[in-house]
Chains A and B, each alone.
With several copies, the nearest count.
Chain A
Amino acid sequence: MTTAEATGYDVEQVRRDFPVLARRLAGDLPLVYLDSANTSQKPASVIAAIEEHYRLHNANVARAMHQIGAEATEAFEGARDKVAGFIGAPSRDEVVFTKNASEALNLVARVLGDAGRVGAGDEIVITQLEHHSNIVPWQQLCQRTGATLRWFGLTPEGRLDLSDIDSLITERTKVVSVAWVSNMLGSVSPLATIIAKAHAVGALVVVDASQAVPQLPVDVSTLGADLVAFTGHKMLGPTGIGVLWGRYELLAELPPFMGGGEMIETVTMERTTYAPPPARFEAGTPPIAQAVGLGAAVDYLSALGMENVAAHEHAITAYALGRLQEIDGLRIVGPSEAVDRGGAISFELAGVHPHDVAQLLDSRGIAVRAGNHCAKPAHACFGVQSTSRASFYLYTTEQEVDALVDGLLHTKKYFGA
């Protein structure tokens, strides 16, 4: 199967929308960017939206009554509408802008503690494949409250092991927080099963959709989760913006995270009352230009069609899994078939350390990531300290995967492995 057949858009044409893909690196080599799970590249339309905002419409929002203030506010709130539409949010007021996915997850962990919804004796359930950003906030919450952290383990294939779900998710469970798509193993979590079980015991479900929203059509109105976090820079958007979606009634019950700016209703020195969501959770000047950029990113993704993006991701991942497994001594850490699988492929190359793999590939213009990918516990599960990771996005071609494979064969030879 070639990606041309599977993809509902012209990848070569799409690539021309991304200025950085024309970059020449040292030795006049073209950039082969296989690090999109780390951060995605930006189409010209996103870059231009940000530039135009600063050049013509820059003002603070909400507080300004003048023309450029109204323009900035319309652009900022318009981006909220776009994001709400993109993820199928029943209401725009359910979309909270944060600085990244990490803030969204920390926000949830902090306010659930502040609200007394998690306390001593309660349990929080996560999984061993989480990104640090969905582990550390819960460890911190447990430390502050005396709650206990528990977690799903992994199967040897790198999928969630749900065999002990009945003993893990119990009446004591107050929160279940789980990644939709793993940024290291690539595996897709069986959310429906977990959500059903969690809701049966009255626990809240938080979904870390940082790797899902960029790759999959998402509809929070049918997903069943209570709160969903994701991040702008992995979905063609700028750095400095993330999103927390939450059911409105839930958000409305929760206290604020940070204080200041327009998150208030009224302030006296003695006492403050708070604005309704989403303002309640947006302290200080929000990421205005970043929201504008994210809105443009959402427009770009919608124009391509998320079904097409998902189909391309699936096809390129299947192709890469096949080709990588042709290499002697290469071991994929995570599912080796493109079934319920996202586009991040972590692997080991026998006898060559991941940093050396990444360095050699870089000398050929191929950008992959080496390290623990902010998923140390998942690495520990597989007895490895670090891996190399290639990850793909809507602009990745089979030729780039071929270049990766050639680069890896060269790397083996270079290190005599």
Chain B
Amino acid sequence: MDVDALYQEIILDHYKKPHGAGLREDFDTEVHHVNPTCGDEITLRVHLDGDTVADVSYAAQGCSISQASASVLNDLVVGHSVEEGMTVLGSFTELMQGKGKVEPDEDVLEDGVAFAGVAQFPARVKCALLAWMAWKDAVAQAVTEKEDA
């Protein structure tokens, strides 16, 4: 269990300069997720433009892993279709729950491959997934609202 496998350079970079951080006013739905075991929190807003994720804005309190993963999430889903985003979510979740045995696909996950090492630290998997679970929840709500409207 090499701690450098966990804290990849890419992760520390995202942590220090998170992409798309902050809460922006244009949004369809907002969710607040908490990781009760460690207390990490995220407030996350999703703005859809038709089928496209126009923006994901967020305020996150938590460790480097959870903050960096919100930043990477922002990179990976904004500007893409909801469906594409869900595919990435699927790959990312699979990687996280793979106990270090899943080979990440860099074409899909881009900077997200840096999280491969997290899968070897069971206690930190939830940190990496916090933003993604919040995003899934917010998107699902947004889609439902659009359908109902």
Contacts and interface: CB of A to CB of B under 8 A. Distances in A.
A281 B96 CA distance: 28
Given A353-B63, A359-B6, A371 B36 contact: no
B38 A370 contact: yes
Interface string B22-57: 000000000000101111110000000000000000
Interface stretch (A43-51, A62-70, A148-156): A62-70
A414 B15 CA distance: 13
Contacts of B36: 264-266, 275
Q: How big is chain B's contact interface, by range?
A: 20 to 34
Contacts of B123: 65, 69-70, 73
Contacts of B62: 353, 355
A63 B35 CA distance: 12
B38 A355 contact: yes
A376 B6 CA distance: 28
Contacts of B1: 26, 67, 363
A74 B121 CA distance: 12
Interface residues of A, number: 32
Contacts of A63: 37
A265 B34 contact: yes
A328 B62 CA distance: 21
B122 A70 contact: yes
A363 B38 contact: no
Residue of A63, A355, A360 contacting most chain B CB atoms (<10 Å): A355
B12 A415 contact: yes
A372 B39 contact: yes
A67 B122 CA distance: 11
Contacts of A275: 36
A386 B61 CA distance: 10
24 contacts: A26-B1, A62-B37, A63-B37, A73-B123, A74-B122, A262-B37, A265-B36, A275-B36, A354-B63, A355-B62, A355-B63, A355-B127, A356-B63, A356-B65, A359-B3, A360-B3, A362-B3, A363-B3, A371-B39, A372-B39, A376-B39, A414-B7, A415-B15, A416-B16
